[in-house]
Chains A and B, each alone.
Chain A
Amino acid sequence: MSDIAPSNFSLSSRTGGVRIERVALGAMVRVTLAPGRRDIEAGLEAAFAASWPASPNHVMAADPAIYWFGPGDWLVQTATTRSEVVAARLSDLIPADGGSAVAVGDGHVGYDIGGRDAAALLASACPLDLDRFASGRSARTLFAGANVLLHRRDDEAFRLLSDRTLGAFLQDFFAAALREFS
């Protein structure tokens, strides 16, 4: 099936220093709360317990993985449950007058960028200080001018999320940026 960003997209440098693969993100639900609804947030924290990211710019990377996106703004991602189910579970915790939880899995693309040159490749177009970006951290930032969320999974493994509409652009940019490492 024709798609804007082929799901089998995969690139690696000849020297093996960096490998980029599109990942299937599974179900994703974006949770957005009205400001001041600490009550709802407390409910979410209680329901998800330790897997709810307590501080900004962190990811709880279990299943579901929960990304802090901004104040009152999270992304819940799981490969094991359908998004309708996740959205329904979250909607139960979020009264309609205080925010929303909607499926957004189709609106995103994700790439795993790994290898010893992974950080250098990202640094070709991302202004973040990756030396000070520890495992488990996430950040919404820019890559090649595109809004992305970057998540450091470990020293040499990053995951980059962005809008599906930018998938083709990002893949072309990855291919161009990779030339330096081959």
Chain B
Amino acid sequence: MTRFATGGRIDRAQPLRFRFNGRALHGYAGDTLASALLASGIHFVGRSFKYHRPRGIVSAGHDEPNALVQIAGAQGEPNTRATVLELTEGLAATSQNAWPSLAFDAGALIDALHPLFPAGFYYKTMIRPNWHVFEPSIRRAAGLGVAPAGIDPDLYVQRYAHCDVLVVGGGPAGLMAAQAAAESGARVVLADENGDLGGTLLWREAVAEGLAAGAFAAQATAQLRGRSNVTILTRTQATGLYDGNYALLCERPAAPGGGRPALRLWKVRARQIVLATGLHERPLVFPNNDRPGILLASAALKYRNHYAVGVGARLVAFINNDMGAADALALHRSGVTVAAVIDIRDADGTATGAALAGAGIAYRPGSVIRDTAGRRRVRSVQVCGLDGGGSQWIACDAVIMSGGFSPAVHLFCQAGGKLRFDESAAMFLPDRAPDGVRTAGGLNGAFGLDAAFAQGAEAGAAAAMDCGFQAPSQRTPIAAGKSPAQNIAPLWRVDVAGATKRQWVDFQNDVTDKDIGLAAREGYTSVEQLKRYTTTGMGTDQGKTSNVNAIAILGLRTQRTPQAVGTTTYRPPYTPLTFGTFAGQARGLLQKPMYRLPTHDMQAQEGAVFLEAGRWQRPDFYPRPGEAREDAVRREMRETRGGVGLFDASSLGKLLVSGRDAGRFLDHVYINRASNLAQGRVRYGLMASEHGIALDDGVFARLGEHQYLVSPSSGMTGAVFAHMQEWLRCEWPSWQVAVQNVTPQWATLAVAGPKARALLTALGTDIDLDAKSFAHMSFRDGRVGAWRARVFRVSFTGETQFEINVPAAFGPALWRELRNAGRPWNAVPLGLEALLRLRIEKGYIHVGSDSDGTTTPDDLGFSQWRSKDFDFIGRRSLLRPEAQREGRHQLVGLVGTDPAFRMPVGAHILPRIGARPPATAQGRVTSSCISDALGQSVALGLLASGRARLGETVELYFGGGTFQARVVKPVFLDPENQRLV
């Protein structure tokens, strides 16, 4: 029986059933999975990552390296730490990394062969033929848990929060920091990972202000809860601190489901931060120190006092400091028998030995554990003196160890804090804090409540005052008794005669002190190299228990102090986060804001298959029953060329450029002229960046003397708007130009094809549609159907095309009228893919597809700018030698030798026929299609000196195959523009 009948913070009135590896067990509300397993006498919970060694529970918190379990079910989660997982009714967990079962694991054979697998073995042995041949089997053998296959049904949410003072950690220091800051009037957020505030107050015996520690914590919590300026986030782990005091906190709300989220990610913007993150106890490194049943002394005490669980019936303690001695004594007095305390320190007349002996515990100063025995649970330890003599086996069923403490500096360092190694305390301590960050309590290496209270209160008050609040008047609470002292004598590894067995440094990654020695011998003496070569400090725990030991051992091997070795970089997250945490509500279609066309629903009714094109959801094609995509696209092309096609072109940008200098401004924005355009007319324009690179193209119309409507391409509207604003605000601030993006206001429905005019006539309009009075590249205002509209004559299809603009709300009705009016000519909805292929036949470029970040307007065949005698954005760059040199890649047309083979976009143009890679590409295919109208395979491409090579046949390479094409001018259909009339 390992559960005590009384005590602890579990609720004995709420028994819970759960299964572990299929075995039915029970625990209580308030248990973690680990405490419930220990209460059932189970230490052995998993196999190690590399050698498949039996491993047990080491810690009682988020620092756990070993006890990782797989949670079953749709909400399943791999690599869950049993030490923080709350027990729930019906929980089903299994061990990881064991096959076929935990007890009989086939992979354990690797352990017998361990001399073959030293640190870095795969770097050395799996070079030929290459690593990827070995990777899958290695990953299987060394994998952690299994990612759930189904869609996660849980609710994940996120929340922004803002405060003056964020306090991380609700232990004695954090509570006082929050109280002091709150007292001053500051907005405070206090985050703690546990369900109740108090930290060690909840399980270490102490008296504060005359109250038992637990009662004191409850009182302090109640006081904080009573304040409107304090937000308490329990069950919340701070996982990241970023620039500008931006913190990510991960809350696991109680009882998720039924609308309650499984996880809530808090994004907290704090003006000041107080870190009271406490410390982690370190294991000792000694031979065979990884057997189940060997755990941290403070963890054993927490299991006893928090969960009323005895981790064994007969314990041996191995320590190098007085905190560990005190924990052993406390355990013994509370009914968890400690048979012996092995202390590496010499008997120095301190009270430690006397106190232990007085309690009836055998005390062995100046001793170490040289070996342990017990396969699935430790059953004895071999103790000897520092000289290797006086060896003796002591029977036990658990070993508690205390190798000193490591302040949880992770968040401090993430925020930019610097550390120093304190030799006397044998710990890395916060040294220089970044602006707006303070530390208190155990994080500062302070032991004892008085120090925690004082430092917390001081940090909280100072943080509030830095936010402009008055100093709080609060008195710091007083703890009873003397503050403890650590009195540590570091022991980084056991180095006595006969200590031959492996000494584990990093349990999770199966790294021994010898592996570190090997790395040092092979020259991996930087701590970052050590981490990557041996994997020490990697994995789900990121070496919370092991890093300082590894650093010190590397130091021993290279005659350096831990300070000189230094630490690896601390990066977020502090503890593992699931993908759902980051995704929050932004799943599926909510991942990013997507624009919808005004007629989106109608297009859906038309049977459109939608496509994400930039930020827009647009119809890609409209399959009829039995039609594949390619069939549908080619039919849409044919029917548009032969009759009339309809599409919603509302995604085309509409920027209203107004003001006295509007024309002058557009003369500078486009490489061609705008200011000499007549009112009512439309012109095609190309923009370049200041580097002389093609930026966007589109049409612009002159609405009035001082007003133009600029139409960037769909995906570029925001960028062009920003480009214009930057130039106006930063370069030409005195120019009188105002730019407005009015894109969402308008539904733009396009009618394209030889029957477009007939369709509009049938629909009814008071605009004279005759080609002479309403020519291509002009616009008219008038009535179309029942609506007042502005109609543009522009074309991206190469056909006669009208673009009818009505306020967005009228878009659906206009679409319906266009469909009805188009019946006699079988008007079809035209998808984006067909539209993009129609423009290829016509040689209309798509900037960004047919150009890249090196393509100039000249390269695309636009040289009108040369006649402009004044400045525009990019002009001077176009005069640079690089823009003028011979051999630039220029836009050409390509006609495939095989009319039925669609030339793949990205195919490289080889330097000559018969050449094979490796060879310098002469260019590439940028867009292509099979043209039914021409019975040809056509493409646009960029080719070195392309315009001088018309008529040449080139060979192209793609994906291992080659094909040939003839170089032609980049226009295939209707070069005389007769169809545009």
Of the candidates A1, A34, A126, A164, the one whose C-beta lies within 8 Å of that of B737 is: A34
Chain B residues 639 to 683 lying within 8 A of chain A, measured CB to CB, are 650, 656, 658-661
Identify the closest chain A residue to B601 (Cβ).
A2
Known contacts A169-B593, A169-B594: does B707 contact A106 (CB below 8 Å)?
A: no
Set of chain B residues within 8 Å of A120, measured between Cβ atoms: 159
Whether, in the assembled complex, A131 has its beta carbon less than 8 Å from a beta carbon of chain B, the answer is yes
Determine the distance from Cα of A105 to Cα of B745 in the docked complex, in whole angstroms. Answer: 7
Set of chain B residues within 8 Å of A105, measured between Cβ atoms: 745, 807
Contact A166 B736 (CB under 8 A): no
Whether, in the assembled complex, A144 has its beta carbon less than 8 Å from a beta carbon of chain B, the answer is yes
Whether, in the assembled complex, A81 has its beta carbon less than 8 Å from a beta carbon of chain B, the answer is no
Determine the distance from Cα of A172 to Cα of B659 in the docked complex, in whole angstroms. Answer: 39
Whether, in the assembled complex, A30 has its beta carbon less than 8 Å from a beta carbon of chain B, the answer is yes
Contact A166 B593 (CB under 8 A): yes
Set of chain A residues within 8 Å of B593, measured between Cβ atoms: 144-146, 166, 169-170
Contact B743 A107 (CB under 8 A): yes
**Chain A positions 48 through 60: 1 when the CB is less than 8 Å from some CB of chain B, otherwise 0:** 0000000000000
Whether, in the assembled complex, A65 has its beta carbon less than 8 Å from a beta carbon of chain B, the answer is no
Of the candidates B586, B736, B808, the one whose C-beta lies within 8 Å of that of A107 is: B808
Contact B586 A144 (CB under 8 A): yes
Set of chain B residues within 8 Å of A146, measured between Cβ atoms: 593
Determine the distance from Cα of A170 to Cα of B157 in the docked complex, in whole angstroms. Answer: 16
Interface residues of chain A, those whose CB is within 8 Å of chain B, are 1-4, 14, 30, 32-37, 72, 96-100, 102-108, 120, 123-129, 131-132, 144-146, 163-170, 172-173, 176-177, 179-182
Q: How far is the CB of B265 from chain A (nearest CB, A)?
A: 10
Contact B161 A104 (CB under 8 A): no
Whether, in the assembled complex, B10 has its beta carbon less than 8 Å from a beta carbon of chain A, the answer is no
> Can you name 18 A-B pairs with beta carbons within 8 Å?
A4-B598, A14-B259, A30-B742, A34-B735, A34-B738, A35-B728, A36-B733, A36-B734, A37-B736, A102-B742, A124-B157, A124-B160, A125-B158, A125-B585, A127-B160, A163-B743, A164-B598, A180-B155
Contact A32 B739 (CB under 8 A): yes
Determine the distance from Cα of A125 to Cα of B599 in the docked complex, in whole angstroms. Answer: 28
Contact A100 B586 (CB under 8 A): no
8 further contact pairs, Cβ within 8 A, besides A97-B660, A100-B656: A32-B656, A98-B738, A99-B659, A125-B160, A163-B595, A164-B808, A165-B650, A181-B259
Contact B585 A176 (CB under 8 A): yes
Determine the distance from Cα of A32 to Cα of B650 in the docked complex, in whole angstroms. Answer: 22
Contact A32 B590 (CB under 8 A): no
Determine the distance from Cα of A69 to Cα of B269 in the docked complex, in whole angstroms. Answer: 25
Determine the distance from Cα of A100 to Cα of B736 in the docked complex, in whole angstroms. Answer: 12
Most buried by A among B584, B705, B740, B813: B740
Q: Is the interface of A mostly helix, strand, loop or mixed?
A: mixed
Contact A177 B595 (CB under 8 A): no
Chain B interfacial residues counted at CB < 8 A? 63
Most buried by B among A2, A163, A173: A2
Identify the closest chain B residue to A182 (Cβ).
B259
Known contacts A96-B705, A132-B162: does B157 contact A177 (CB below 8 Å)?
A: yes
Contact B596 A4 (CB under 8 A): yes
Set of chain B residues within 8 Å of A106, measured between Cβ atoms: 744-746, 807-810
Contact B590 A34 (CB under 8 A): no
Known contacts A96-B704, A123-B160, A168-B600: does B812 contact A1 (CB below 8 Å)?
A: yes
Contact A179 B736 (CB under 8 A): no
Contact B585 A32 (CB under 8 A): no
Set of chain A residues within 8 Å of B656, measured between Cβ atoms: 32, 100, 102
Contact A129 B660 (CB under 8 A): no
Set of chain A residues within 8 Å of B585, measured between Cβ atoms: 124-125, 144, 173, 176-177
Whether, in the assembled complex, B475 has its beta carbon less than 8 Å from a beta carbon of chain A, the answer is no
Determine the distance from Cα of A170 to Cα of B705 in the docked complex, in whole angstroms. Answer: 38
Set of chain B residues within 8 Å of A145, measured between Cβ atoms: 586, 592-593
Of the candidates A1, A100, A128, A166, the one whose C-beta lies within 8 Å of that of B738 is: A100
Set of chain A residues within 8 Å of B733, measured between Cβ atoms: 35-36
Identify the closest chain B residue to A131 (Cβ).
B162
Contact A33 B159 (CB under 8 A): no
Identify the closest chain B residue to A96 (Cβ).
B706
Of the candidates B155, B157, B589, B736, the one whose C-beta lies within 8 Å of that of A98 is: B736
Determine the distance from Cα of A166 to Cα of B594 in the docked complex, in whole angstroms. Answer: 7
Identify the closest chain A residue to B158 (Cβ).
A124
Contact A123 B592 (CB under 8 A): no
Set of chain B residues within 8 Å of A98, measured between Cβ atoms: 659-660, 736, 738
Contact A97 B259 (CB under 8 A): no
Whether, in the assembled complex, B187 has its beta carbon less than 8 Å from a beta carbon of chain A, the answer is yes
The 4 closest A-B pairs by CB, nearest first: A107-B745, A97-B660, A34-B736, A107-B744
Set of chain A residues within 8 Å of B160, measured between Cβ atoms: 123-128
Q: How far is the CB of B63 from chain A (nearest CB, A)?
A: 31
Contact A100 B660 (CB under 8 A): no
Q: How far is the CB of B420 from chain A (nearest CB, A)?
A: 36
Determine the distance from Cα of A153 to Cα of B648 in the docked complex, in whole angstroms. Answer: 37
**Chain B positions 572 through 596: 1 when the CB is less than 8 Å from some CB of chain A, otherwise 0:** 0000000000001111011011111
Q: How far is the CB of B545 from chain A (nearest CB, A)?
A: 36
Contact B157 A180 (CB under 8 A): yes
Determine the distance from Cα of A170 to Cα of B12 in the docked complex, in whole angstroms. Answer: 47
